[in-house]
Structure 1
Amino acid sequence: MFIQWIANLLRMLPNKAARTSTIQKQKVKKRVDVLVDTSIAPTAVTYYEPLHSPYKKLPVYINLHGGAFIMYDKEMDDPYCRYLANMTGCAVINVEYAKAPEHPFPSPIVQVYEVLEWVKSHAEHLNIDPAKWMIGGQSSGANIAAALCLYLKDQEEPQPLLQVLSCAMLDFVTPFSEKPEPDKWRSKYPQFAHFLNLCYVPEKGQEAHPYASPVLAESVQGVAETVMITAEFDAFKPEAEAYAKKLKKAGVPVHHHVFEDCYHLFTHIGPTEAATEAWDTIASHIRKVAAQSAPTFKKISS
């Protein structure tokens, strides 16, 4: 009861990342809101179709927003989903995954997997190529994306063409007090981060599960090609670096981009120049893998 009360209180705080956008909102050919039935909860998703595309059947990128597993919603990523759609010629699916503590680990992973199955089963209606899908997210969303790829590996199911992990939180085992938090107040009072962690992994031992802490996975061989976007001054930088190193050692293609003088979730809160470069970088990687075994792709003008 107490945990639920605190979580609800935190959700009332303003979302700085949603108040402004580092990317100007663009028009798209189509934006459609859909409610997908999953075993976890009815799941709101938004489908974005680009203004122009060289593909008859669109590749698709699935986006998972940030919010420490308990807060925010997919609308904070609306400008970026529009941008990625237009800059890559791909469809984008923006997912409103269920939040902790009501839906703790591993509920969002199961939910996103079922959304993926829905996307594939509705490929004809959505005008997408179900074999050409990618996934990515920011912060907690990046954690869920990484976990899904590990889950697919364990189930021997096809990997996405690409996973994009931006400012990823990948380690629940290391206490937040031992992470290099640059903010003096969060560093002085790590209890806040510990509370957020408790919401998502409330049961003893869950924090060490590789789907909760992908950096602890024993084997990552065979997971998807990875784009890692890291801020120089981010408490989660060491775990992102460790995961990138583990992936590379396993033979996974990794493109690790570290943005100097930037902080956690800089892609949404700025500085604008660095954020724009980060989104351009993500779009460039999506374009490249989407164009594999496809007709020559010409960059879409914004």
Structure 2
Amino acid sequence: MAQRYGFFQYLRLKFIVTLLRAWVAFGSKEKQQRDRDIVPPEVPKENIRIPSRERGRYIAAHLYLPVGYSDSLPPSKPLPVLVNWHGSGFIFPLLGTDALFCARIARDTGVAVLDTDYRKGPENTFPYALHDAEDVLQWVSTQGHRFDRTRVAVSGFSSGGNIAVVAATALRKQLEDMNIQIILSFYPPVDIAKPPEEKKVPHAINRHPVWMLHLFNDSYAPDVSSRSDPTISPALANLEDFPPTVALITAEGDTLRPEVNDLAERLITGTKKKVINVILDGVPHALDKGCEGGTIEWTQRERSYALATNLLKESLK
């Protein structure tokens, strides 16, 4: 059941989030255009509407296919697939901001990439975003003519990285017809139960204000007592629930880095899974979005995307 707000609490959150959405839509245009300008144009992209569990409702998604494939020229056998969730702070409608990553992965690995939307707070609190993630995965499992269900990967950025970790743990256990082999999670919040005031790094870069982190958490999971649930804070998931390969990519200047590193260390010491824990030096949260050529962010983005490419080739071969 969805978590509930008091009437005035919802109005306050709705007002602030509406202002922030307008600010982000206006202020991020240049960065988003910078990324769109270098999306490989030869990669086929299709707009998909995936049925939701709510009758008559659909989940928007973008399907990126390897070069040479399309609906008119389908592959001779099902393709491995990567399902991706974008960053949003759990509040921003930013489907499409991972287009550069998705198109490059499709081009460089031969993997189909499904970049999917999910519902945002405060209008739709936990667990609606996870319901959408589960519905997408269930839909993928029905598409045996398109996707090889034995070679599935999940990925996500920031809050989408949180959803990807939950998909690779709690949701993965429910998917009998699908084998998620690898997760790629970029700078995710994995311990929402930990107060934002306690999230610190020695040299934070472009740190989110503490009030904004509270806003993200309150918009997604207003019931503070629920935030230790592993489907909200997947750092607390059973370690054996993770897939065979776990790649956690964080930024040195991101205050979310310690909780991700703690999860990586637990996986390394407590399991025999392949764990890749990469800290990108000298960059902030969302380092890969809107990079300018010649900057350290550009260099570290290229490093992280190359790592993702190689791991997917290795895991989904």
TM-score interval, smaller chain? 0.7 to 0.9
- Tell me, what secondary structure is at the counterpart of 2:282? strand
Q: Say which of 33, 38, 56 aligns to 1:24.
A: 38
**Structure 1 residue 184, shift from structure 2 partner:** 7.2
**1:107 matched residue in structure 2:** 128
Structure 1: gaps of 5 or more residues: 292-302
Structure 2: gaps of 5 or more residues: 1-10, 70-74, 292-296
How far apart are the structure 1 equivalents of 2:192 and 2:43?
A: 40
**1:264 matched residue in structure 2:** 285
**1:47 matched residue in structure 2:** 63
- Tell me, what secondary structure is at the counterpart of 1:103? coil
Cα 1:79/1:184, change in 2 over 3 Å: closer
Amino acid at match of 1:50: P
**Structure 1 residue 3, shift from structure 2 partner:** 1.2
TM-score if structure 2 supplies the norm length? 0.84
Cα deviation, 1:266-298, whole Å, max 9, x if unaligned, reads: 12244111111111111111111111xxxxxxx
**1:298 matched residue in structure 2:** none
Cα 1:134/1:28, change in 2 over 3 Å: farther
**Structure 1 residue 156, shift from structure 2 partner:** 7.2
Cα deviation, 1:136-178, whole Å, max 9, x if unaligned, reads: 0000000001112221355474551110110111111111111
Residue 10 of structure 1 pairs with residue 34 of structure 2:
no
Residue 61 of structure 1 pairs with residue 75 of structure 2:
no
User: Percent same amino acid among aligned pairs?
Assistant: 24
Cα deviation, 1:98-146, whole Å, max 9, x if unaligned, reads: 111112112111211111111121231xx22122111000000000011
- Contact 2:162-2:189 at 8 Å conserved across structures: yes
- Contact 1:28-1:49 at 8 Å conserved across structures: no
How far apart are the structure 2 equivalents of 1:174 and 1:144?
A: 17
Amino acid at match of 1:111: D
**Structure 1 residue 19, shift from structure 2 partner:** 3.9
**1:87 matched residue in structure 2:** 108
How far apart are the structure 2 equivalents of 1:267 and 1:164?
A: 14
- Tell me, what secondary structure is at the counterpart of 1:74? coil
**2:311 matched residue in structure 1:** 285
- Contact 1:222-1:252 at 8 Å conserved across structures: no
Root-mean-square deviation (Å): 2.2
Q: Say which of 166, 170, 174 aligns to 1:147.
A: 166
- Contact 2:205-2:284 at 8 Å conserved across structures: no
Cα 1:83/1:23, change in 2 over 3 Å: farther
- Tell me, what secondary structure is at the counterpart of 1:161? strand
**Structure 1 residue 180, shift from structure 2 partner:** 1.4
